[in-house]
């Protein structure tokens, strides 16, 4: 397939599973996270699967506006990674707090990471995809974009916003060959999933299965256009 990917949240959970899964079909992969050592470890793992894939590491804290601007600057400077075919916005924070304990700082941090940074990255790369009339943007949402549980008011608000963003990008860019797809899983077996309260972790979704479904969606030869996908677990406990 020989595609170029940029994946945020590549160092853990769904982002990591997807990164490993597409290693065999990728030409270049840009992996983004806060911790260089985790990114280096992942780079090694990718090259074990496919020694021909070129892996680029970008360290950026996307909960800060300066972090996302740094990422864009790095992309602008590196001519080798100008053309991204598939963007995955997976990095996010899941804050568990009662409404009375939510601060403006909490709101700013999570809105920046879960909504504003994905918007800025999608704008930058989405417009480049528009020019070459081809591209996919995966926005990793959540069941919290539709239903909310207690003590997740910030997360729930950000994922509702991300759904709106994802649809807006699809509306504006689909006629130019760019697909913006909202992936909305229920609780998954990842470090973030460990923070979900009062539910049986053993019943959670395997993130690899979600990653496999995303990989299938890369095939653009179909007559269907997928805009959003809700993924539920079989057993809810």
Is 167 within 8 Å of 159 (Cβ atoms)?
no
Collapsing DSSP to helix, strand or coil, 180 comes out as strand
Dump the DSSP string for 57-75.
EEE--TTSHHHHHHHHHHH
Stretch that binds ligand NAP, among 33-41, 163-171, 174-182, 215-223 (CB under 6 A): 33-41
Q: Which is nearer to ligand NAP, 118 or 135 (CB)?
A: 118
* 187 is an interface residue for ligand NAP by CB under 6 A: yes
Which of the residues 130 through 169 are near ligand NAP (CB under 6 A)?
A: 140, 142
Query: What is the enclosing helix (H) or strand (E) of 124?
Result: helix 117-132
Query: What is the enclosing helix (H) or strand (E) of 33?
Result: strand 26-33
Give the x-and-dash track for 68-107 against ligand NAP (CB under 6 A): ----------------------xxxx--------------
- Nearest distance from C-beta of residue 108 to ligand NAP, angstroms: 12
With 0-12 / 13-18 / 19 or more C-beta atoms within 10 angstroms meaning exposed / middle / buried, residue 202 is: exposed
Residues of this chain that bind ligand NAP (CB under 6 A): 9, 11-15, 33-35, 38, 61-63, 90-93, 113, 140, 142, 185, 187-188, 190-193, 196
């Amino acid at each position: 397939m020989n595609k170029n990917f940029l994946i945020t949240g590549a160092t853990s959970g769904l982002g990591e599973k997807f990164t490993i899964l597409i290693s065999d079909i990728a030409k270049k992969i840009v992996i983004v996270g806060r911790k260089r050592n985790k990114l280096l470890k992942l780079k090694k793992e990718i090259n074990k699967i496919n020694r021909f894939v070129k892996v680029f590491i970008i360290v950026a804290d996307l909960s800060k506006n300066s972090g996302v601007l740094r990422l864009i600057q790095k992309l602008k400077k590196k001519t080798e990674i100008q053309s991204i075919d598939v963007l995955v916005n997976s990095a996010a924070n899941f804050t568990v707090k009662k409404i009375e304990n939510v601060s403006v700082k909490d709101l700013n941090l999570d809105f920046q990471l879960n909504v504003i940074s994905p918007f800025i990255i999608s704008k930058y790369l989405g417009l480049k995809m528009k020019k070459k009339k081809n591209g996919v943007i995966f926005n990793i949402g959540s069941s919290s974009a539709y239903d909310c549980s207690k003590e997740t008011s910030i997360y729930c608000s950000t994922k509702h916003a991300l759904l709106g963003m994802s649809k807006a990008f699809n509306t504006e860019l689909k006629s130019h060959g760019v697909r913006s797809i909202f992936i909305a899983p229920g609780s998954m077996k990842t470090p973030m999933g460990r923070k979900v309260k009062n539910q049986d972790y053993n019943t959670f979704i395997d993130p690899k299965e979600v990653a496999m479904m995303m990989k299938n969606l890369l095939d653009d030869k179909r007559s269907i256009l997928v805009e959003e996908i809700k993924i539920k677990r079989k057993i809810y406990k």
